[in-house]
Amino acid sequence: MAINKKENTEVIENKVETVAVDNNALQEKVDKLSLLVEQLLLANSQLNQTKVAPIVEPKDDYCEEDDFKTIPLAKPIRVISLCYGQLNLRTSAEGSAKIFTFDSYGTSRTILYQDLMDIVSCQNRFAREGYFMILDKDVVKQHYLEEHYNKFLDKKQIDHILENDDNTMTSLFKNTTPKIQKTIVDIIFHKILDGEFVDRNKVKIISDLYGTDIFGEADKRSGLAKQN
Per-residue model confidence as pLDDT tens digits over 42-72 = 766 665 555 444 444 544 443 444 578 899 9
pLDDT at position 223, please? 72
Give the torsion through C-alpha atoms of 127, 128, 132, 135, to 10 deg: 90
Contact 88, 81 (CB under 8 A): no
Residue-wise pLDDT tens digits, 112-167: 999 999 999 999 999 999 999 999 999 999 999 999 999 999 999 999 999 999 99
Interval 87-103 mean pLDDT: 96
- Judge whether 198 and 159 are in contact, CB under 8 Å: no
Give the mean model confidence (pLDDT) for residues 187-192.
96
Same domain, 169 and 137: no
Task: Decide if 80 contacts 108 (C-beta within 8 A).
Answer: yes
Tell me the average pLDDT across 171-176: 98
Structural domains in the chain (count): 2
Last residue of a domain, one of 149, 175, 200: 149
Sign of the Cα torsion 55, 59, 64, 67 reads positive
User: What is the extent of the structural domain holding 222?
Assistant: 155-227
Separation of alpha carbons 207 and 214, rounded Å: 6
Give the amino acid at 54. P
Please check whether residue 18 lies inside any domain of the structure: no
Regarding whether 80 and 141 lie in a shared domain, the answer is yes
* Same domain flag for 139 and 161: no
Write down the pLDDT at residue 52: 46
Residue 165 lies in a domain: yes
Together in a domain, 125 and 143: yes
So what's the pLDDT on residue 212?
96
Residues 171 and 114 in one domain: no
pTM, to two decimals: 0.69
Output the 3-class SS for the chain. CCCCHHHHHHHHHHHHHHHHHHHHHHHHHHHHHHHHHHHHHHHHHHHHHCCCCCCCCCCCHHHCCCCCCCCCCCCEEEEEECCCCCEEEECCCCCCCCEEEECCCCCEEEEEHHHHHHHHHHCHHHHHHCCEEECCHHHHHHCCCHHHHCCCCCHHHHHCHHHCCHHHHHHHHHHCCHHHHHHHHHHHHHHHHCCCCCCHHHHHHHHHHHCCCHHHHHHHHHHHHHHC
- Same-domain check for residues 103 and 140: yes
Dihedral (C-alpha) 29, 31, 33, 34: value to the nearest 10 degrees? 160
- Final residue belonging to a domain, choices 115, 149, 183: 149
**For the chain, first and last CA: distance in Å?**
163
